[in-house]
Structure 1
Amino acid sequence: MKYALIAEHVGWFTIALMCRVLSVSRSGYYRWLERGIPVQEKRRVGMEMLVKDTYEEFEAAYGAPRITKELNELGYPCSLNYVAQIMAEQGIKARNGKGFKYSRNSLTMLNVSDNVLWRDFSASKPNEKWTTDITYIWVEDKWIYLATVMDLYSRRIVGWSLDESMTEALVKDAMAMAFSRRETAPGLIVHSDRGTQYRAQGYVDYLVSNGCRLSMSRKGNCWDNAPMESFFSRLKVELIYAKNYRSIDEAKSGIFAYIEIFYNRKRRHSANDGMSPVTFEEKAALAA
């Protein structure tokens, strides 16, 4: 459902922009917001994004007290303990905070890469350009997180990972699956947003060690990773909202079937002349 997609990205993009991109009304979104997901959970996800955004905006100089004051002044009521808990869970500390050691592992804006892809979503061959992202999925009474890697040549999902926490390990596991399945060469462009997981030094080093060129969307610009946003939208409309999974095991099984059996092998894609990603790659390999 489009409204859920909007709720997941509050704090990253304006509601007006997301409603316009997804062709829904703001009034409809607010009506949905009044029922839908429990208020406490929606607030938690929104606050996590706001805390990380404020932390990055002030280049890691603000700790929990200043971030709390900043958010309250902006009209987002929160307590110091609440913000401190979020920061602890996300593993972020102020540069001048107790226990902070400035190193290559510090999650600051220093690891932001240029937008090498620059919305050129075409590719002349497999493993030339990949894009990756994370989405939230509501299951029973909690969020789970899905990281995926797409090859822009065929729009095939070549790697993915599902977990109950949104960490560097989540995105690295998805990328590890992709590398294990594909034969890559130096120069592969890997595009993502500016999330802290994608700027973590371990993840950056992992991609560089595999010969990749990192590319990142501009801040707050959803169009810079449009193919992945489109995939997540289809996944949720065609699977998640239709099934309404009641357990994490059910969700994992369903997502596996959707990606590996339906989307990659059966679902026709307009970018592939109406062929599924696997069929498109197989036909191109025969013609080569």
Structure 2
Amino acid sequence: MNHKRVERLMRERGIAGITRRRRRSLTRPDHQARPAPDLIGRDFAATRPGTRLVGDITYLPTGQGWLYLACWLDLATREVVGYAMAEHHRADLVVDALHMAHARGRLESGRVAHNDRGSEYTSTQFRTAVTQLGILASTGRTGSCYDNAPAESFWALLEAEIGTHEWPDRATARADVFAYIETFYNRRRLRRHPAWGYLTPHETRQRHTLAA
């Protein structure tokens, strides 16, 4: 079928495709801070859940302004184990998301938390939090999205599957993000690849638990 016919049929039925918006980078390096070493080195595999996490921040447009979202993904399952939303992207945001992952009991002793060199992750507040939780901090290089590829990939999925429209207010956006992560992504979205056994992130974690 010719693409022009598809375009005509879509116009006649009021169908519009979803296009991903260009994300502006939120990474604001603190040149005074000394970043943690890169303990991941683009090796995004993990043999057990709770041992290696990757984190990042994105933003969603609403009628009240931006809603910022911080997430931590488990590299063994690709499950979102901790997240937080706020009107700002200060260090509190990433720390709250990390505390959520810890409170859920999804982390092991000596685990690694990997992220970019944004000021939120090089702050004293974040460093204090990871030390108190017994976490080894890890950072990629400045300006290299490939050093944190799984987190960037999750943002692409979220934007494509939740939609890239503007929410009327932050409360509505929060509700949609919660439903996407807790109801769909973690528990219903199959990872269509033999390496993941065509399981959801939640089922992948359960498989690891049974194997242990």
Following TM superposition, the consecutive aligned residue runs of length 4 or more in structure 1 with deviations greater than 4 angstroms are none
Please say if 1:138 is aligned against 2:61.
yes
The residue correspondences of 1:71-110 to structure 2 (distance < 5 A) are: 108-110=32-34
Pick from 202, 205, 210: which aligns with 1:281? Answer: 205
Pick from 64, 70, 75: which aligns with 1:152? Answer: 75
Deviations 1:200-234 (A, max 9, x none): 11111110121111110111110011001000111
Please say if 1:167 is aligned against 2:167.
no
Provide the secondary structure at the position in 1 that maps to 2:67.
Answer: strand
Aligned residue number for residue 172 of structure 2: 250
Provide the secondary structure at the position in 2 that maps to 1:268.
Answer: coil
TM-score, normalised to structure 1, is 0.63
Q: CA deviation at 1:194?
A: 0.4
Q: CA deviation at 1:286?
A: 2.0
Provide the secondary structure at the position in 2 that maps to 1:143.
Answer: strand
Pick from 109, 112, 130: which aligns with 1:207? Answer: 130
Aligned residue number for residue 223 of structure 1: 146
Please say if 1:261 is aligned against 2:189.
no
Aligned residue number for residue 8 of structure 1: 24
Deviations 1:62-81 (A, max 9, x none): xxxxxxxxxxxxxxxxxxxx
Instruction: Tell me which protein shows more strand as a share of its residues.
Output: 2
Q: CA deviation at 1:244?
A: 3.8
Residue type at the aligned position of 1:140: G
Q: Aligned pair count?
A: 193
Provide the secondary structure at the position in 1 that maps to 2:163.
Answer: helix
Residue type at the aligned position of 2:203: T
Q: Structure 1 stretches of 5 or more lacking a match?
A: 13-48, 60-107
- Contact 1:192-1:217 within 8 A present in 2 as well: yes
Larger radius of gyration, structure 1 or 2? 1
Instruction: Tell me which protein shows more helix as a share of its residues.
Output: 1
Distance in structure 2 (CA, Å) of the matches to 1:267 and 1:189: 25
Distance in structure 2 (CA, Å) of the matches to 1:127 and 1:237: 27
Distance in structure 1 (CA, Å) of the matches to 2:188 and 2:161: 13
Please say if 1:187 is aligned against 2:110.
yes
Distance in structure 2 (CA, Å) of the matches to 1:182 and 1:259: 18
TM-score, normalised to structure 2, is 0.85
Please say if 1:232 is aligned against 2:158.
no
RMSD, aligned α-carbons: 1.8
